[in-house]
Amino acid sequence: MAELFYDADADLSIIQGRKVAVIGYGSQGHAHALSLRDSGVDVRVGLHEGSKSKAKAEEQGLRVVTPAEAAAEADVIMILIPDPIQAQVYEESIKDNLKDGDALFFAHGFNVRFGFIKPPANVDVALVAPKGPGHLVRRQYEEGRGVPAIAAVEQDATGNAFALALSYAKAIGGTRAGVIKTTFTEETETDLFGEQAVLCGGASALVKAGFETLVEAGYQPEIAYFECLHELKLIVDLMYEGGLEKMRWSVSETAEWGDYITGPRIITDATKAEMKKVLTDIQDGTFAKNWMDEYHGGLKKYNEYKTQDEQHLLETTGKELRKLMSWVNDEEA
Ligand code: NDP
Ligand code: MG
Ligand code: MG
């Protein structure tokens, strides 16, 4: 069973006694910086020249300096910028500002797990990752609640790295909900696998294949869109609230029967065998290397795939249909 930690297990005074640099002010960065400050922590935000989020951070009462200045001032440095650029910012602005006993923090283990960032032996290296988007993390904190988080220590130079990570998690509300102990390896590999095989890759491929099957059989795209994409939200909401059991309790007996007999015809042993290969590519670093090559090579294939899917009948149909649904918050409409 997973080890869980709550408010009573974490000592807020540890992080209150440190100087924290939050590098980046995006989804996670704004939530961490504001909640750390509201928890009585000495925090500064590190942002690059020409940063769009700088004005917002300053408006919200935070002091903004360059990433290098933030790292030099602070003794806990939390890196909350996009994963593909972390290694470069680390090399240019952070590495030379690390002192004995400093702590380097992450919210995702990608760069450390795959060796793109190699911290020196004299600093703590830890992970505090809320299991939710930054805006939810901040809102829950303000409401006196919290989003569950996971925490891990990769390198314990001071002998106190986990207590420091728990203290940090407490300052952003994580221990109010519960913090699960993990490792950089487990967090990184399961995160990548989940988003590729199930959440993003698996789900979007399933939706597209179902939609195409109906349209190719002569059914109207609008009807296919409702059946294969729109209604997915209702199903996922039920799973989120009460697992597969609540979903099956809510749908008709006919739908439940179809679930049992047809699900395994769609996700077959061959699909699971492919999932295992996907996991191997993640574990042995193949995925990470290929992704970094793609990213730093100018995102050619990435943009090709993006354009292809933007032009898919599923997407053009949905764009029109969502205009009929006034309650759907549709920025493109
Ligand atoms: P964002 O994409 O939201 O971060 C954007 C921020 O990074 C902006 O403030 C941007 O500045 C800044 N930035 C961009 N380039 C630089 C640079 N060269 N130097 C300094 N700052 C820069 O990141 P997320 O919050 O999504 O992700 C941060 C980390 O948290 C990642 O490791 C991610 O895996 C992890 N994570 C994210 C979750 C999420 O919900 N998004 C959930 C859990 C973990 P500007 O725009 O002003 O130019
Ligand atoms: Mg991810
Ligand atoms: Mg139906």
State pLDDT tens for residues 286-309.
Answer: 999 999 999 999 999 999 999 999
Which one of the ligands is nearest to 226 CA? 3
What integer pLDDT is reported at residue 331 of this predicted model? 56
User: Taking 60 as the threshold, does the pLDDT of residue 228 lie above it?
Assistant: yes
pLDDT for 252 beyond 90: yes
Q: Which of 22, 35, 45, 47 to mutate to test the pocket of ligand 1 (most atoms within 8 A of CB)?
A: 47
Q: What is the pLDDT of residue 92?
A: 98
Please say which residue of 158, 182, 206 terminates a domain.
182
Q: How confident is the model at residue 330 (pLDDT cuts 50, 70, 90)?
A: low
Q: Are residues 172 and 27 in the same domain?
A: yes
Q: Do 174 and 220 have their domain in common?
A: no
How many percent of the chain have pLDDT more than 90? 97
What SS3 string covers the chain? CCCEECHHHCCHHHHHCCEEEEECCCHHHHHHHHHHHHCCCEEEEECCCCCCCHHHHHHCCCCEECHHHHHHHCCEEEECCCHHHHHHHHHHHHHHHCCCCCEEEECCCHHHHCCCCCCCCCCEEEEEEECCCHHHHHHHHHCCCCCCEEEEEEECCCCCHHHHHHHHHHHCCHHHHCEEECCHHHHHHHHHHHHHHHHCHHHHHHHHHHHHHHHHCCCCHHHHHHHHHHCHHHHHHHHHHHHHHHHHHHCCHHHHHHHHHHHHHHCCHHHHHHHHHHHHHHHCCHHHHHHHHHHHCCCHHHHHHHHHHHCCHHHHHHHHHHHHCCCCCCCCC
Q: How confident is the model over 97-113, as pLDDT tens digits?
A: 999 999 999 999 999 99
Residue 302 assigned to a binding site: no
Residue 326 assigned as binding residue? no
Return the CA Rg of the chain: 22
Pick the last residue of a domain from 154, 182, 210: 182
Cα 268 to averaged position of ligand 3 atoms, centre (Å): 23
Helices 313-321 and 201-216: angle between axes, nearest 10 degrees:
90
Contact status, residue 95 vs residue 79, Cβ threshold 8 Å: no
> pLDDT by residue (tens digit) across 162-219?
999 999 999 999 999 999 999 999 999 999 999 999 999 999 999 999 999 999 999 9
Residue nearest to atom 8 of ligand 1 (CA): 26
Same domain, 225 and 250: yes
59 pLDDT exceeds 60?
Answer: yes
Question: Is residue 103 in some structural domain?
Answer: yes
Q: 51: domain range?
A: 4-182
Q: Within a domain: residue 329?
A: no
11 is in an annotated binding site: no
Q: Cα(27) to centroid of ligand 1, in Å?
A: 6
Is residue 67 domain-shared with residue 147, that is, in the same domain?
yes
What is residue 333's predicted lDDT score, i.e. its pLDDT? 39
Do 166 and 203 have their domain in common?
no
Average the pLDDT over 272-296 and give the result: 98
35 labelled binding-site residue? no
Q: What integer pLDDT is reported at residue 1 of this predicted model? A: 86
The catalytic residues are 108
Known binding residue 250? Answer is no
Q: How far is the CA of 288 from the centre of ligand 2 (A)?
A: 12
Nearest ligand, measured from the Cα of 108: 1
Output the pLDDT for position 332: 47
177/206 same-domain check = no
Asked whether residue 80 is assigned to any structural domain, the reply reads yes
* Protein residues with CB under 6 Å of any ligand 1 atom: 23-29, 47-48, 51-53, 67, 80-83, 85, 89, 107-108, 129-130, 133-134
Give pLDDT tens digits for 17-52: 999 999 999 999 999 999 999 999 999 999 999 999
Asked whether residue 214 falls in the same domain as residue 156, the answer is no
Query: How many CB atoms lie under 10 A from the CB of residue 323?
Result: 12
Q: Is residue 331 part of a domain?
A: no
How many domains does the structure of the chain reveal?
2
Ligand lying closest to the C-alpha of residue 88:
1
Give the pLDDT of residue 328: 87
Closest CA to 313 of 186, 208, 210: 208
- State the Cα–Cα distance between residues 33 and 197, nearest whole angstrom: 32
Residue 144: its pLDDT value, please? 98
* 152 and 44 part of one domain: yes
Establish how many alpha carbons lie within 13 A of residue 214's alpha carbon, considering only the half-sphere containing its beta carbon.
18
Pocket test for ligand 1, best of 22, 23, 27 (most atoms within 8 A of CB): 27
* Among 106, 132, 321, residue whose Cα is nearest residue 211: 321
* Domain assignment present for 333: no
Let me know whether 231 and 172 are in one domain: no
The amino acid sitting at 300 is: K
- Domain-located, residue 330: no
In this structure, the residue with its CA closest to atom 39 of ligand 1 is 133
Same domain, 178 and 208: no
Is there a single domain that holds both residue 24 and residue 102?
yes
Q: What is the pLDDT of residue 66?
A: 98
Sorting pLDDT into bands at 50, 70 and 90, what band is 82?
very high
Q: Residue 67 CA: which ligand is closest?
A: 1
- 245 marked ligand binding residue: no
ipTM summary value: 0.97
d(CA 171, CA 151): 13
> Which residue of 45, 49, 81 sits with most ligand 1 atoms within 8 Å of its CB, as the best mutation to test the pocket?
81
Tell me, in angstroms, the distance from the centre of ligand 3 to residue 248's CA: 13
Looking at the structure, do residues 223 and 172 belong to the same domain, yes or no?
no
What residue's CA is closest to ligand 1, atom 29? Answer: 80
Average pLDDT taken over every residue of the chain:
97
pLDDT for residue 271: 98
* Residue nearest ligand 1's atom 18 by CA: 48
Q: What's the Cα-to-Cα distance from 21 to each of 58, 72, 88, 289, rounded to whole Å? A: 15, 9, 17, 29
Residue 225 resides in a domain: yes
Task: Give me the amino acid identity at 179.
Answer: V
Q: Does a structural domain hold residue 187?
A: no
283 or 330, greater pLDDT: 283
Q: What CATH number is given to the structural domain containing 176? A: 3.40.50.720
Instruction: Indicate the residue among 148, 164, 182 that finishes a domain.
Output: 182
